[in-house]
Amino acid sequence: MTDVKAKTADYGLGPYTFPRGWFVIAEASQLSEGPMALNYFDKEFALYRGESGRVVLLDAYCKHMGTHLTKSVSAHVVATNQNIVGDSILCPYHAWQYGPDGQLESIPYEPGLCPKSANIKSYPVREIMGLILMWHDPEGGEPDFDPPFLPAWEKENAVHWQLDHLGSIPIHQLEILDNMTDVRHLGPTHGSPCEYFENEYRDHVVIQRQGGTLATYNAHLDTVTWYTGPGILLSKQTYNDITIFELIVNTPIKDGYTQAWHGVLSFANNIPPSTKDLVAAKQAQEAALAAFSTDFEVWKHKIPAIKVLQTKRDGQFKTQRKWVSQFYMSANDAKKIQEEVNGVHHIEDFPQPTSAARDAGFEDDCFATA
């Protein structure tokens, strides 16, 4: 692993170190183990599920004396499961009670006293497709777009993903997002040389449509892949009459470091899925992970590409990076970037998708929300 790191400012992305958008912060099933302590965007957070089922994300530290709300698990009030009250949480040290909106609700030994200065920040959270998502906005604004959702998730024969937790890599999220336009790596890295390609930018969504022959499967593979904001990739992949959806999500931990998860949504032949169907689903996720891991390995060992030495027939990294930059500035300034890059972009001298490939599941999937 190289120790040459690059940060947001090195890439000249925008005034903010961390981007605006929806980001995965945990797998929903992890919350059945109790409250979690999380670290993203160079900040500490407390995540828990209230008694109503509501998921709550707060700044981690109590305003009384700075105790981490979810890290001190041996404290009596936590060890005896008394720290979640309704949708509120008690601090492990002196049991000051915080509501899901971050407001101090009570001090057990000071009836009627709730100083506003003790309030902490609460963040917008969504639970979708087994994922816990947070809205991160460096300006503290409310969400200005919805997270993605796959309607196919609700099909009767859907076999839902259990995420691969891939840990953190010392690479800036920008270089992971470069993949969206990187037409020339598909053959050398993934063994699936591209036969047609295009990108489309629509405000906070970037779409890639491409296809080619996948050597390892001896099959033609068509993919429609889209990012909704800079953190959540979904990809509809069709080969040999099989359709799967791949999920790749990345969340900044600190400047220049990114955490990643991976999953595959596939479909069983039987309802309920047979053991054979479940094995096939697991294999589909493993195969997709093996393909993605080739990128991951490159990212782990490369030095930063602060500027890409972009050739004429390369992917359009400059446009792609401009699209990414919108998330590192105010939502207002982002509009100008969107106006600049919105539209369909092609690679010089490279075949474009047929209209059938262009339409395949496009509006249905790329812009669906829960």
Residues near Fe ion (CB under 5 A) are 179, 295
Residue 9 has φ and ψ, to the nearest 5°, of -65, -30
Task: Report, in Å, the least distance between residue 101 CB and ligand FES.
Answer: 17
* 58 is a contact residue toward ligand FES (CB under 6 A): no
* 98 is a contact residue toward ligand FES (CB under 6 A): no
Of Fe ion, ligand FES, none, which one sits near residue 199, judging by CB under 5 to 8 A according to partner kind? none
Q: Which of 60, 62, 268, 337 binds ligand FES (CB under 6 A)?
A: 62
Token output for 31: 């919350």
Residue whose CB is less far from ligand FES, 108 or 351: 108
Of Fe ion, ligand FES, none, which one sits near residue 88, judging by CB under 5 to 8 A according to partner kind? none
Residue 218 amino acid letter: N
Q: With CB under 6 A, what is the number of residues at the site for ligand FES?
A: 8
Of Fe ion, ligand FES, none, which one sits near residue 62, judging by CB under 5 to 8 A according to partner kind? ligand FES
User: DSSP strand E in 13-124: where?
Assistant: 21-27, 36-40, 43-49, 55-59, 84-85, 88-90, 97-98, 104-106
- Cα distance between residue 54 and residue 48, in whole Å: 8
* 180 is a contact residue toward ligand FES (CB under 6 A): no
Stretch that binds ligand FES, among 93-101, 137-145, 260-268, 356-364 (CB under 6 A): 93-101
* 70 is a contact residue toward ligand FES (CB under 6 A): no
* 271 is a contact residue toward ligand FES (CB under 6 A): no
Q: Is residue 20 within 8 Å of 136, Cβ to Cβ?
A: yes
* 257 is a contact residue toward ligand FES (CB under 6 A): no
According to DSSP, residue 28 is labeled G
Of Fe ion, ligand FES, none, which one sits near residue 93, judging by CB under 5 to 8 A according to partner kind? ligand FES
Q: H or E segment at 317?
A: helix 317-325
- Cα distance between residue 102 and residue 100, in whole Å: 5
Residue 239 amino acid letter: Y
Residue 251 amino acid letter: T
* 64 is a contact residue toward ligand FES (CB under 6 A): yes
* 91 is a contact residue toward ligand FES (CB under 6 A): yes
Task: Report, in Å, the least distance between residue 301 CB and Fe ion.
Answer: 15
Q: Which of 11, 23, 96, 292 binds ligand FES (CB under 6 A)?
A: 96
Maximal CA-CA distance, the chain? 74
Task: Report, in Å, the least distance between residue 308 CB and Fe ion.
Answer: 15
Of Fe ion, ligand FES, none, which one sits near residue 179, judging by CB under 5 to 8 A according to partner kind? Fe ion
- DSSP SS3 for 170: coil
β 84-85/131-136 pair status:
unpaired
Four-CA torsion 64, 70, 72, 78, nearest 10 degrees = 100
- DSSP SS3 for 214: strand
- DSSP SS3 for 358: helix
Residue whose CB is less far from Fe ion, 134 or 177: 177
- DSSP SS3 for 282: helix
Residue whose CB is less far from Fe ion, 16 or 350: 350
Q: Which residues bind ligand FES (CB under 6 A)?
A: 62, 64-65, 67, 91, 93-94, 96
